[in-house]
Amino acid sequence: MKTTRVVIAGVGGQGTLLATRLIAETAIKQGLQVRIGETYGMAQRGGPVMGHIQIGEAYSPQIRPGEADALLGFEIAEATRRGVTYLKQGGLAIVNSKKLPPVEVISGMRKYPEEGELVKLLKKVSSKVAVFDATKLAEKAGDPIATNMVMLGALAASGVLPFGQDEIMATMKESIPTRFLELNMKAFKLGAEALKKSKGLLTFLPRA
Amino acid sequence: MSNPVTMDKPGETVLLMGNEAIVRGALEAGIRIAASYPGTPASEIGNTLAEIAKETGIHFEWSTNEKVAFEVVYGASMCNQRGLVPMKHVGLNVALDIMEMAALRGVKGGLVFVSADDPSQHSSGQEQDQRWLAKQNCIPVLEPSDPQDAKDFTIHAFELSERHKQPVMLRTVTRVSHMRSNVKLGELKKLNREAKFDFEQFSYVVAGFDKMFYGREKEANEKIARMMAEFDSSPLNKLVMTGKEKVGVIATGQTYNYVMDALVKLGAKEKVAVLKLGTSNPLPEGPITKLLKGVNKILVTEEPDPFVELHVKALAKDANPKVELYGRIGGKLPAEGELMPYMVDGVIAEMLGQKPEGNPRAEVEKEAKDLIFGRMLTVCAGCPHRPSIYALKRAVKAVKGDIHKVVMNGDIGCYGLAWAPPMSYEDTYFCMGASLGVSQGMSQVGIDTIAWIGDGTFFHAAIPALMNAVQTKTNIKVVVADNGVTAMTGFQPNPQSGKMATGEATKSVSIEAIAKAVGVEHVEVTDAYDTKATEAAFKRMLKTEGVAMVISRRICATEAIRQMRPKRPVPYEVDESKCVGCKLCLTTFGCPGLNFDEDKKKASIDPTICMGCGVCAQVCNVGCIHRRDE
Ligand SMILES: Cc1ncc(C[n+]2csc(CCOP(=O)(O)OP(=O)(O)O)c2C)c(N)n1
Ligand code: SF4
Ligand code: SF4
Ligand code: SF4
């Protein structure tokens, strides 16, 4: 089996870790080997968070530069930073257009880069870049906190993973407390729909 | 879903983080007790123990510091119980005194301590390689490569410790601590041993006879010699060699993963002999010598110091003086920091006469660096430390005229991020509790100082220094940034939290009572969210002669939100019609919940980030910030 490699990028508090875990647990239930490397040293304080998921034969918890099949970017600047390093030529980038300005921007030391420039840079490594407002979709599902499930839904629908939406949803049912399940499922499905709608015109997904 | 760490299903494969796998291993080894002090990348070991302690009937505590944790477990070990002491690498510096004694006097019940090292300093002030401390003290070191190893090596470590009556270091690096992967579970074990102290043997007594001491050094050396012989054929070390290879690799701990990936990538599995090294102290000289004799070139991979490499170099002198040694010493790999997969690809390619690829993305990474900010760390939205610093800066300016009339000595914790803009107020930052000590030295030579310390760090290491200041009549000002928990490492309780690791209620130790008891006369407590009152308290402190303290108190905002979940606090908002666009809230306070719309020239608040603390409303002179429901 070919090894599947996905990089997840975001900022502390965006729920990237849960998304990563659901993918890994699903893989294990399918009898697959997984390796996850996570960098979240200072996540609590608005620091960058990154997860590397590898399903299939892989020893190292880190993906090498230029070898990720997909990038799941929860915040557009973080997505671009990680994408240019890890996404392979022709790999799929699924990017939330959400901007979380860091203290350099808030305190006026630097400007937040234009979305167009970020996407341009990302496209230097792959033309398959899908940008959409996942946070807005999560709000539509009931709470912006569910952005992670919108992103997960989009990844599940992309066909990059060796399993599909149903398998991930089964894991969600087992691991997410009942009172949050409906919200998360709704968000997951909205994410999956958004990606499917974009088939063929992958550059920009419809804005929710 | 049931917790995989305590799942009673031997043979089942589950997803575990390296740190969780260590706990599972300890449960399969039948521990009776564990004690720890939080610190990244070790914290999840303790967090997991706290979660499962009641269910499994073991004692787990977050001790006041690492030395206490080690002593607690050593006490139980003397009474024939197995115990685990996990800590962050630098925690071992604090526990060193007792670790050395335990190594010299020996243990009874298996004692395993974890040094979670942090090469490349993902979340530490230094990348100290703690294997040297183990070597210096005749302590064996086991280095797992992944979560499965982490579990299995922990069981080995207990068995080894008990058989040789020596403490054992299980040494992880961040990449193993935080790696998640498949782990096949074994059987949970309960030893149910009677707790018994051996009065007859006098094993632990410090007698005044020097013969006795020397005897102990000899014993420790003999233990290491016995272990060395045993490690030659230990399953923790695996040599894969056909005898036809010209190139060999000694792959230590986690770096084994990079080596194996490199061999797959380079299609070189048959061309390279690999020793997977799990015991870096004492080194298994048998397989290493065999490898040295069989190849022309040898690479040692390890993190971060050339600890194994140095020893291999010495062995090569006798075994194969002509062998070409690749590693950190000769500069083929960097002298410090973690290794990256592409670095290992590169050296092995070079050894095989292939062209190394390097980092294919170096150029576009540079472009990204120019375009994208670094994302500096800062304290959370609503964090009580931000208004404390804001008020302190204002008070110092008002009383002293200039913030640089005082050296602001920071300490370890979230509040250590006081250097982050726009607060940017912190001049030094060392190790737990150091702010109080260095402040006194500066003060003794005539420099005004402030020691800025958190509640967790105060309990961990600052009380002796505070007594020192009182005894020496030193003029220091102490601010305790008291947020009720040890936040930076994951909100663990500390002595004043009023609860134990398991959540069970207990007495709360009062910081102000301690300060007063040791003789600090000026002690004030303020609410960090009330910037005016806090500033006034700081001013009074600065004007007081001698030791003076202000405790700026308010629960950590993130912990507060955790406690009220799933409810969220009511966010604040900016009244756009009133905002004059002066940016004062951003440039002097800079909560991450705030933002500025350059087109409208108005400030705004992101309701998904805002924690509803209301402090920015006190910072704005115009009065245009208010609660959404008001
Ligand atoms: C010797 C040692 N042990 C553990 C740590 C890990 N560590 C980093 S910050 C911190 C304490 C933070 O607690 P507190 O002083 O209450 O500050 P807060 O983060 O809550 O603001 C700890 C224990 C360390 N740096 N050094
Ligand atoms: S975790 Fe708590 S103490 Fe630490 S920065 Fe966030 S709010 Fe402040
Ligand atoms: S300080 Fe007040 S007036 Fe000035 S930008 Fe901020 S909200 Fe607007
Ligand atoms: S009220 Fe103001 S200072 Fe407090 S969290 Fe919200 S934006 Fe930040």
Contact B594, B584 (CB under 8 A): no
How far is CA B491 from each of CA A11, A44, A208, B556, rounded to the nearest angstrom?
19, 11, 37, 9
- How far apart CA B521 and CA B369 sit, in angstroms, is 52
Which of B195-209, B346-360, B504-518 has the lowest average pLDDT? B195-209
pLDDT for res A207: 35
- Say yes or no for a CB contact (<8 Å) between A46 and B592: yes
The order of strands in the sheet holding B449-454 is: B428-429, B407-410, B449-454, B477-482, B548-553, B522-527
- The DSSP string of B284-337 is -HHHHHHHHHH-SEEEEE-SSS-HHHHHHHHHHHHH-TTPEEESTTTTSS-SSS
pLDDT for res A41: 61
Nearest to B459 by CA among B412, B416, B419, B414: B412
Q: Is B260 on the interface with A (CB under 8 A)?
A: yes
CATH code (residue A119)? 3.40.920.10
User: Residue B514 gets which letter from DSSP?
Assistant: H
Q: Which residues of B touch A65 (CB under 8 A)?
A: 342, 359-361
- How far apart CA B311 and CA B279 sit, in angstroms, is 13
- Say yes or no for a CB contact (<8 Å) between A144 and B608: yes
**Candidates B122, B175, B370, B372, partner chain A, best to mutate (most A CBs within 10 A):** B372
- How far apart CA A133 and CA A150 sit, in angstroms, is 10
Ligand 4 centre to CA of B592 (Å) is 8
Q: What percent of chain A has pLDDT over 70?
A: 93
pLDDT at B211 exceeding the cut of 60: no
- What residues does ligand 2 touch, defined as CB less than 6 Å away? A 44-45; B 379-380, 383, 385, 414, 483, 487-488, 556-558
State which ligand 1 atom lies nearest to the alpha carbon of B40.
Answer: 6
Q: What is the mean pLDDT of residues B495-509?
A: 96
pLDDT at A44 exceeding the cut of 80: no
Which of A24, A64, A81 is opposite residue B180, by nearest beta carbon?
A: A24
Q: What is the mean pLDDT of residues B612-619?
A: 97
Which of A28, A145, A175 is opposite residue B13, by nearest beta carbon?
A: A28
Look at residue B76 and give its three-state secondary structure: helix
Ranges of CATH 3.30.70.20 domains, chain B: 572-627
Q: What is the mean pLDDT of residues A100-115?
A: 89
- CA B325, chain centre distance (Å): 33
Q: Which residues of A touch B414 (CB under 8 A)?
A: 44-45
Q: Which residues of B touch A35 (CB under 8 A)?
A: 146, 179-181
State which ligand 1 atom lies nearest to the alpha carbon of B93.
Answer: 1
What is the CATH number assigned to the segment(s) B572-627? 3.30.70.20
- For chain B, what's the residue count? 630
Q: Give the domain B4-231 fold.
A: Rossmann fold (3.40.50)
User: Residue B245 gets which letter from DSSP?
Assistant: -
Give a yes or no: residue A208 inside a domain.
Answer: no
Number of cross-chain residue pairs from A and B with Cβ atoms under 8 Å apart: 175
Contact B249, B259 (CB under 8 A): yes
Phi and psi (nearest 5°) for B239?
-100, 120
Report the residue of chain B nearest A173, measured CA to CA: B1
Confidence of residue A92 (pLDDT cuts 50, 70, 90): very high
With a 6 Å cutoff on the Cβ, whether B489 touches ligand 1 is: yes
- The DSSP string of A9-76 is EEETTS-HHHHHHHHHHHHHHTT--EEEEEE-TTGGGT-EEEEEEEESS--SSSPPTT-EEEEEESSH
pLDDT tens figures, A11-26: 988 899 999 999 999 9
CB atoms closer than 10 angstroms to residue B242: 9
pLDDT for res A201: 41
pLDDT at A205 exceeding the cut of 50: no
- List all residues of chain B from 533 to 552 with a beta carbon under 8 Å from chain A: none
- Say yes or no for a CB contact (<8 Å) between A85 and B566: no
The closest ligand to the CA of B578 turns out to be: 3
User: Residue B459 gets which letter from DSSP?
Assistant: I
Q: What is the mean pLDDT of residues B74-88?
A: 97
pLDDT for res B558: 92
- How far apart CA B581 and CA B228 sit, in angstroms, is 70
pLDDT at B26 exceeding the cut of 90: yes
Ligand 1 centre to CA of B559 (Å) is 15
Ligand 2 centre to CA of A91 (Å) is 37
At B265, list the tokens.
């990538």
CB atoms closer than 10 angstroms to residue B26: 31
Q: What is the mean pLDDT of residues B249-265?
A: 97
Q: Which domain holds residue A15?
A: 4-198
Phi and psi (nearest 5°) for B153?
-65, -30
- How far apart CA B288 and CA B316 sit, in angstroms, is 9
pLDDT at A203 exceeding the cut of 50: no
Residue with tokens 């399969």: B28
With a 6 Å cutoff on the Cβ, whether B144 touches ligand 1 is: no
Question: Which helix (H) or strand (E) covers residue B482, if one does?
Answer: strand B477-482
- The DSSP string of B129-158 is -THHHHHHTT--EE--SSHHHHHHHHHHHH
Ligand 4 centre to CA of B379 (Å) is 12
Nearest-CA residue for atom 2 of ligand 1? B91
pLDDT for res A73: 97
State which ligand 3 atom lies nearest to the alpha carbon of B580.
Answer: 3
Give a yes or no: residue A207 inside a domain.
Answer: no
- How far apart CA B338 and CA B304 sit, in angstroms, is 6
Which of B15, B361, B609 is opposite residue A34, by nearest beta carbon?
A: B15
- Mutation probe of ligand 4 site: the residue of B613, B620, B625, B629 with most atoms within 8 A of C-beta: B613
At B95, list the tokens.
């526990």
pLDDT for res A208: 33
Question: Which helix (H) or strand (E) covers residue B449, if one does?
Answer: strand B449-454
Ligand 4 centre to CA of A14 (Å) is 18
The closest ligand to the CA of B606 turns out to be: 4
Q: What is the mean pLDDT of residues B224-241?
A: 97
At B210, list the tokens.
């020097």
Question: What's the gap in Å between the CA of B495 and the closest CA on chain A?
Answer: 23
Report the residue of chain B nearest A26, measured CA to CA: B15
Ligand 4 centre to CA of B612 (Å) is 5
Give a yes or no: residue A102 inside a domain.
Answer: yes
pLDDT for res B1: 57
CATH 1.10.10.10 is right for the domain spanning B385-564 = no
Q: What percent of chain B has pLDDT over 90?
A: 91
- How far apart CA B253 and CA B277 sit, in angstroms, is 6
Those residues with Cβ within 8 angstroms of residue B278's Cβ, 6 or more apart along the chain or in another chain? B142, B143, B144, B145, B149, B153, B234, B236, B237, B238, B253
The closest ligand to the CA of B616 turns out to be: 4
Nearest-CA residue for atom 2 of ligand 4? B616
- List all residues of chain B from 469 to 498 with a beta carbon under 8 Å from chain A: 487-488, 490
CB atoms closer than 10 angstroms to residue B362: 10
Report the 3 state secondary structure along B556-605.
CHHHHHHHHCCCCCCCEEECCCCCCCCCHHHHHHCCCCEEEECCCCEEEE
Give this prediction's pTM.
0.96
Tell me the CATH number of domain B246-365, given options 3.40.470.10, 1.20.58.340, 3.40.50.920, 3.40.50.1110: 3.40.50.920
Give a yes or no: residue A23 inside a domain.
Answer: yes
Give a yes or no: residue A204 inside a domain.
Answer: no
Residue with tokens 């671009």: A80
Q: Is B367 on the interface with A (CB under 8 A)?
A: yes
- What residues does ligand 4 touch, defined as CB less than 6 Å away? B 381-382, 572, 591, 593-594, 605, 610-616
* Domain total of chain A: 1
- List all residues of chain A from 99 to 158 with a beta carbon under 8 Å from chain B: 100-110, 112-113, 117-118, 121, 124-125, 135, 144-145
Contact B165, B1 (CB under 8 A): no
Amino acid of residue A95:
V
- The DSSP string of B173-193 is EHHHHT-EEEEE--------P
State which ligand 3 atom lies nearest to the alpha carbon of B586.
Answer: 6
Q: What is the mean pLDDT of residues A95-104?
A: 91
Phi and psi (nearest 5°) for B520?
-80, 120
Look at residue A95 and give its three-state secondary structure: strand
- How far apart CA A103 and CA A24 sit, in angstroms, is 33
Ligand 1 centre to CA of B168 (Å) is 25
- What residues does ligand 3 touch, defined as CB less than 6 Å away? B 574, 579-585, 603, 620, 622, 624-625
